[in-house]
Amino acid sequence: MSVVIVDAAGGPEGGAARFKVELRRYVAGSGRTDVQIIGLGRRVEPAWLLRRETSSSASNRRVALNNVSFVTPGSERWTLLRNPLDFLTKDEDANLDPGLRALGRRRIPVVHLAARRADVLVVPSTAMAKRVSRTLPRVASRIVVRHHPVSADSIPSVPRESFILCPVIFAPYKHMISRLREWVAAADGHIDSGIRMLVTAEPSEVPGDLAAHPLLRLVGRISHAELRMLWARSRAIYFPSALESFGFPLAEARVNGQPVIACDSELNQEVAGPALCGFTIGDIDSLRSATRQALHSNLAPDPTPFDPKSYFDWLLGEPR
């Protein structure tokens, strides 16, 4: 039997972890025995990259989920490129946290070199395709845009309550402290006094004045199962990060029929579609308007663009 090797090393949280939830669910539900997932729980480091190359030569297709393509010849090499930090503009790089910039100097050359060896480069949005094509123009013909998968029943159907959920990891490049301060300024005294925002952050990640603010409630870094229940009960989603390649919260909101308060960008318009309540970063009035729009929106679920079976049948190849 031909085997499909999937390298799932790295990505222990955030969108990468969310993607692996869908992958494992697909494999279990399809009963496929030709898909071999490797690297779960491992870090993407030189020792692992060498080991995976030497242990996957007999496969029909090799798929790297972690931005670093397989490089040795043989079976097809498919790679997911979904880290925008590997394909920044000069202005974006200049504004990056110095620590992240230092890490990038070690990681980015490896990602770019490996990408040149891939047969197919899969990106989750048109905006990410433009990033990769601008940085590596010679690989443009091998780039395919496919939205990440999100199951239609990924969020339970329960009555919604009077809170907005902010399910964002507090990475430095997301500037979440500033985004929370902006929302508090926009909302305080201007929206229903019973509305609260639940934020997936620990108190140590947030300044004391924000942690104690009556409009905010910090729920910590919770499990996927706990997050699903909060998501189901929330009236709207707040996802203000401006530097993304996809944004699972945007897709989850659209699939679940929930409005999402997010930047009015090309990426967010593409992924969130009719669920987007867009605002301009730094414009308090537009953020207030977007919040009001979200709290009064009534949306139908729209799971079609993110169908997992269609996605994984294509990514992994249909069983032979």
Residues 42 and 126 both lie in one domain = yes
Distance between CA 172 and CA 176 in Å, rounded? 8
- What one-character-per-residue DSSP string does 91-121 give? HHHHTS-HHHHHHHHHHHHHHHHHHTT-SEE
Is 156 within the bounds of a domain? no
**Residue 89: which region, alpha, beta or left (left: phi > 0; alpha: psi -120 to 50)?**
beta
Domain count across the chain: 2
pLDDT tens for each residue of 60-79: 899 999 999 999 988 899 99
82 in a structural domain: yes
Distances (CA, A) of 197 to 29, 79, 113, 293: 35, 36, 42, 16
Same domain, 230 and 110: no
Confidence (pLDDT) at 201: 95
Q: Per the domain annotation, does 157 fall within a domain?
A: no
Place of tokens 């949280």: 13
Which residue in this structure is represented by tokens 């679920």? 301
| CATH number of the structural domain spanning residue 187 | 3.40.50.2000
Task: Report if residue 35 sits inside a domain.
Answer: yes
The fraction of the chain above a pLDDT of 70, given in percent, is 98
Instruction: Encode pLDDT of 179-189 as tens digits.
Output: 999 999 999 99
Residue ranges of alpha helices (H) inside 188-247 are: 208-211, 224-233
Q: What's the pLDDT band for 2 if we cut at 50, 70, 90?
A: confident
- Shared domain check, 310 and 287: no
Other C-beta atoms within 10 Å of 151: how many?
18
State whether 68 and 181 are in the same domain. Answer: no
> What band does 319 get if pLDDT is binned at 50, 70 and 90?
confident
User: Which tokens is 130 given?
Assistant: 């433009």
User: In sequence order, which ranges of 188-237 are alpha helices (DSSP H)?
Assistant: 208-211, 224-233
Give the residue numbers spanning the domain of 128. Answer: 4-151+306-316
- 275 and 310 in a common domain: no
Q: What is the pLDDT of residue 44?
A: 95
**Pair of tokens at residue 41:** 């729980």
Q: Is residue 197 domain-shared with residue 290, that is, in the same domain? A: yes
Q: What does the pLDDT average to over 34-41?
A: 94
Positive or negative CA dihedral for 285, 268, 26, 57?
negative
pLDDT at 301: 95
pLDDT (0 to 100) of residue 1 = 59
pLDDT exceeds 80 at position 244: yes
